[in-house]
Chains A and B, each alone.
Chain A
């Protein structure tokens, strides 16, 4: 089999899994079909294909826990989850001062059902990976805008630091980068799904005796959605190629912004029906709002990039030919 054949086969298997299961059942299915091995052997293939599908199907899984943990060299399984940074943030969710650990983070997937969780904590020097019993954490189920996601708020004050080890200084940045690439793919998947929903409606919905997709105002909204989604797809490919944390953050920012663009245009094209819960569209609107918050919003990441550029006065090199 060629690499392309293998990729297609793998993606086909993933597609069937994402189409038929979600949450803990999908986690188990992913484990069964070898996604976790793929993550360690070929992270680009594993992350890009799964997360785009999660975005398209609006499914939920604990895969982001595994993505964060894999770069850090930490093991995750159904009994061990990963605490993610609080919404809007990309710094480690924990902070160790003296012998005591404070946690401000979130969890997705099945963190609430896990026995233990990894918390990466700032120490002022290189970060620590701390294994914490979930019973010692305060978990609050978040309803919020996207109850289907199963988000939990994770907090703790003054936990004793028992089982822990120190991480290489740049490991957290690399882990954030991989998580940002994963979330960017998920946002791209959601954008593509929204565009498909809006295109179907634009072709079928007839007003003034013709499909609304024949009106230029409608067509141009959909064209703009495709342009911004395609631009993000290209930026993501480049970010994988160059492998730097900075370009992963840019890809996440572009993905967040293009998903917001897709949300705005597709909502308008879908009009009344897209505003109801009878239509699937609202699930994507909800998911995009939360995904943009995870590991840095497009706004915050873009401002950070601009600050860096104004401070260093140096544009980073562009993708070479």
Chain B
């Protein structure tokens, strides 16, 4: 199916089912409700076929260009049917499984994620390992036909909902840095895993601490080669900075439109409004080029750090405008609409932190795109 046909057919289907897919405004504030709603939307769109386009047939997909799934996410976020952050986890985790899991494992697991039967999380960061990912220390040792995992992860999004975790572990010596990392696909109901959700500033316990105490993971759950976890991570991160960003740009466009619909005309500086609209336009144009490169089989790499810097800048600019134009609602409104603006504003503060901080992105750009060598 080509993009134009997909777009027309999907838009028609969404028009028809908009009512059933729209979240109940009374419950959209809680993460539990958002997760339930997301699972329903994924199941409905999977069963109708939409969610399967753009994914390979060997993992339950219907084939076709990756642009199809980029458009599906755009349509769902711009119609306000899903929260982009939790929706786009699929875009980050499924490609990694397809590229690195044993074919039979990918064929079993990926459809469950696409259909919304399961939630997966990504166990990368640790208390001592934030930006310096290669220093991670969560240890996996080979036991009797299994890996035995002991250690701690943190900032693990949706871990309390997840059935599986894509986990980075240290299998080499503590000094082996990026060479001694192995990626595992772990069942979250394995004995020895404890999840403690963390309350966040924007009011949703979106991420957790995850503790592993001698957790057994079958060797067949190794993703890629033993000691090859760094390349799994490096291939995953550009996905986090591509299709997920395309969806997020659609969401920001929607929020800016809603702001324009509601704000008093004299509450905003026209120059500030114009600048934010231009930032979104440029982000979208950049992200579009990235989507087309991905669709034509191109390998995504460090240049996606440019996309991430643009996204973070645009997201904070949109919500700075919200704080200017709807300041009293953000500060003191206790109705649902104000609460949503406030959550959006507070969450936007994390845009320069999650998925590689603004500083890490600039380090990548300097080293890999500007050829300035290693820092310090």
Q: How large is the interface on B (under 10, 10 to 19, 20 to 34, 35 or more residues)?
A: 35 or more
- Which B residues are in CB contact (< 8 Å) with A219? 362-363, 366-367, 370, 372, 375
Q: Are B285 and A234 in contact (CB under 8 A)?
A: yes
Contact with B along A297-321 (1 / 0, CB 8 A): 0010111111101110111101101
Stretch at the interface among A94-102, A225-233, A279-287: A225-233
Bound Cα distance A72, B280 (Å) = 32
- Which A residues are in CB contact (< 8 Å) with B272? 306
Q: Does B373 contact A (CB under 8 A)?
A: yes
Q: Are B260 and A314 in contact (CB under 8 A)?
A: yes
Q: Are A238 and B271 in contact (CB under 8 A)?
A: no
A226 touches which one: B260, B261, B268, B370 (CB < 8 A)? Answer: B370
In A209-232, which residues have CB < 8 Å from any B CB? 210-211, 213-216, 219-220, 222-224, 226-227, 230-232
B278 touches which one: A199, A210, A253 (CB < 8 A)? Answer: A253
Max chain A C-beta neighbours (<10 A), residue from B272, B288, B291: B288
In the complex with contacts A237-B289, A310-B273, A318-B253 CB distance below 8 A? yes
Q: Does B354 contact A (CB under 8 A)?
A: no
Q: Are B373 and A227 in contact (CB under 8 A)?
A: no
Q: Does A203 contact B (CB under 8 A)?
A: yes
In the complex with contacts A203-B372, A315-B257, A223-B67 CB distance below 8 A? no
Chain B: CB-nearest residue to A236 = B285
- Which B residues are in CB contact (< 8 Å) with A213? 366, 372-373
Bound Cα distance A321, B72 (Å) = 11
- Which A residues are in CB contact (< 8 Å) with B260? 309-310, 313-315
> How close is B6's CB to chain A, nearest CB, in angstroms?
10
Q: Are B374 and A237 in contact (CB under 8 A)?
A: no
- Which B residues are in CB contact (< 8 Å) with A238? 281, 284-285, 288
Bound Cα distance A173, B310 (Å) = 30
Q: Does A121 contact B (CB under 8 A)?
A: no
Bound Cα distance A53, B44 (Å) = 52
Q: Are B310 and A216 in contact (CB under 8 A)?
A: no
- Which B residues are in CB contact (< 8 Å) with A309? 260, 270, 273-274, 277
Q: Does A90 contact B (CB under 8 A)?
A: no
In A263-290, which residues have CB < 8 Å from any B CB? none
In the complex with contacts A226-B370, A231-B283, A306-B271 CB distance below 8 A? yes
In B235-292, which residues have CB < 8 Å from any A CB? 246, 249, 253, 256-257, 260-261, 265, 268-275, 277-286, 288-289, 291
In the complex with contacts A227-B306, A238-B281, A315-B253, A306-B274 CB distance below 8 A? yes
- Which A residues are in CB contact (< 8 Å) with B7? 321
Bound Cα distance A257, B279 (Å) = 11
Q: Does A202 contact B (CB under 8 A)?
A: yes
Contact with B along A145-183 (1 / 0, CB 8 A): 000000000000000000000000000000000000000
Max chain A C-beta neighbours (<10 A), residue from B280, B361, B362: B362
- Which A residues are in CB contact (< 8 Å) with B74? 321
> How close is A177's CB to chain B, nearest CB, in angstroms?
15
A234 touches which one: B70, B286, B376 (CB < 8 A)? Answer: B286
> How close is B281's CB to chain A, nearest CB, in angstroms?
6
- Which B residues are in CB contact (< 8 Å) with A257? 275
Contact with B along A228-268 (1 / 0, CB 8 A): 00111011011000000001001001100100000000000
Q: Does B369 contact A (CB under 8 A)?
A: yes
Bound Cα distance A299, B361 (Å) = 28
Q: Are B286 and A306 in contact (CB under 8 A)?
A: no
Q: Are B375 and A216 in contact (CB under 8 A)?
A: yes
Q: Are A310 and B265 in contact (CB under 8 A)?
A: yes
Bound Cα distance A254, B283 (Å) = 12
Q: Are B362 and A220 in contact (CB under 8 A)?
A: yes
- Which A residues are in CB contact (< 8 Å) with B257? 314-315
Q: Are A227 and B309 in contact (CB under 8 A)?
A: yes
Bound Cα distance A71, B310 (Å) = 34
Bound Cα distance A14, B71 (Å) = 39
Contact with B along A5-26 (1 / 0, CB 8 A): 0000000000000000000000
Q: Are A321 and B278 in contact (CB under 8 A)?
A: no
Chain B: CB-nearest residue to A258 = B282
> How close is A246's CB to chain B, nearest CB, in angstroms?
10
A306 touches which one: B261, B273, B285, B375 (CB < 8 A)? Answer: B273
- Which B residues are in CB contact (< 8 Å) with A210? 376
Bound Cα distance A203, B362 (Å) = 17
- Which A residues are in CB contact (< 8 Å) with B265? 310-311
> How close is B185's CB to chain A, nearest CB, in angstroms?
31
Bound Cα distance A253, B306 (Å) = 20
Q: Are A310 and B376 in contact (CB under 8 A)?
A: no
In the complex with contacts A303-B271, A306-B272, A199-B282 CB distance below 8 A? no
Q: Are B277 and A211 in contact (CB under 8 A)?
A: no
Q: Are B362 and A223 in contact (CB under 8 A)?
A: yes
> How close is A126's CB to chain B, nearest CB, in angstroms?
28
Q: Does B3 contact A (CB under 8 A)?
A: yes
Bound Cα distance A253, B270 (Å) = 14
Q: Are A250 and B365 in contact (CB under 8 A)?
A: no
B291 touches which one: A216, A254, A321 (CB < 8 A)? Answer: A321
Chain A: CB-nearest residue to B376 = A214
In the complex with contacts A306-B271, A306-B272, A315-B253, A223-B366 CB distance below 8 A? yes
Task: Please name the 7 residue pairs, one residue from A and one from B, whose CB atoms are nearest each other, closest first.
Answer: A306-B270, A306-B274, A219-B366, A306-B273, A305-B274, A234-B285, A302-B274
| 27 A-B residue pairings within 8 Å (CB atoms) | A211-B373, A216-B363, A219-B363, A222-B372, A223-B362, A223-B363, A223-B369, A226-B306, A226-B370, A227-B306, A227-B365, A235-B278, A235-B286, A237-B289, A238-B284, A253-B274, A301-B274, A303-B271, A306-B269, A306-B270, A306-B272, A310-B265, A310-B270, A314-B260, A315-B256, A316-B277, A321-B3
Contacts A220-B366, A257-B275, A321-B288 supplied; 7 other A-B pairs, CB < 8 Å: A199-B372, A216-B363, A227-B309, A235-B286, A250-B277, A250-B278, A302-B271
